[in-house]
Amino acid sequence: MPVLAGAEPFAHTGSTEAGVLLCHGFTGTPASMRPWGAHLAEAGYTVRGPRLPGHGTTWQEMNRTNWTDWYGCVRAELLELFDTCASVFVCGQSMGGTLALKLAQEFGDRIAGLVLVNPSVTTLRWDARLLPVLGRVLPSVPGVAGDIKKPGAVELAYTRVPVRAAASLSRLWSLVRADLGKVTQPLLLLHSVVDHVVEPVNARIVAEGVRSDPLIDVELTDSYHVATLDNDAPLIFDRSVDFFRSIAHTGQVDPR
């Protein structure tokens, strides 16, 4: 299946001291993480930005994948980084944050730290509970892409939401929520004050459910959902580098 131009995975080989895995969101592509990856590469990190199965091609193909496919992809990339780098950090946006939390639950302190941007673990939409049934009769619904405040910024993502894939995402949410207490890694949690895709309750559930020490909570006041392409992107990029360096240098995080 041909990959959309710009949706290709990316990789930067830098220091063997620290590597970073960047996980993109549901129906999105590595394009939403590419500027972040470039910033981290300039700072000297080894970076991997995989394209999740079923993403960056057609929504019809995505409907033939499920959460185990997406998780298997980022898991494989993480294992390769473990073989390459002394310390490994995992970052995710939206569903990428869900996958990052799942990795943290499985691999524990082998992951040095997490950075989550508008992570999703639930939805308040009343029709979400109908997804398993709807998926049998309704292939797709209008998309959620492009929630960006910055004028002219565009997200490379599907304009339709594949319903069977969305039902699988809801199953992943349930699994991750049930095990949030297993997340103990240092955590930098960045979330938009205004987000038209992932409700604010998601960040609250994550913050209250994990046992990360420390947990650094940062509000993004000038971005919508796709914050890595929005006005607060420079803040996200700089804060993540500061976070990584603090852990690498001291073993602890300076929450300032």
The residues annotated as belonging to the active site are 94, 195, 225
Q: At residue 81, what is the residue type?
A: L
Q: Are strands 113-117 and 140-142 parallel, antiparallel or unpaired?
A: unpaired
- Is residue 146 left, alpha or beta, with left meaning phi > 0 and alpha meaning psi from -120 to 50? left
Q: How far apart are CA 146 and CA 195, in angstroms?
A: 11
What tokens appear for 244 in the block?
């990584």
Q: How far apart are CA 121 and CA 195, in angstroms?
A: 14
Q: How far apart are CA 50 and CA 52, in angstroms?
A: 6
Which contiguous run of DSSP H or E holds residue 135? helix 131-137
In this structure, what are the phi and psi dihedrals at residue 98, rounded to the nearest 5 degrees? -60, -45
Q: How far apart are CA 210 and CA 19, in angstroms?
A: 23
Q: At residue 198, what is the residue type?
A: V
Nearest to 240 by CA among 33, 61, 57, 83: 33
CB burial of residue 206 (10 Å; 0-12, 13-18, 19+): buried
What tokens appear for 50 in the block?
């995989």
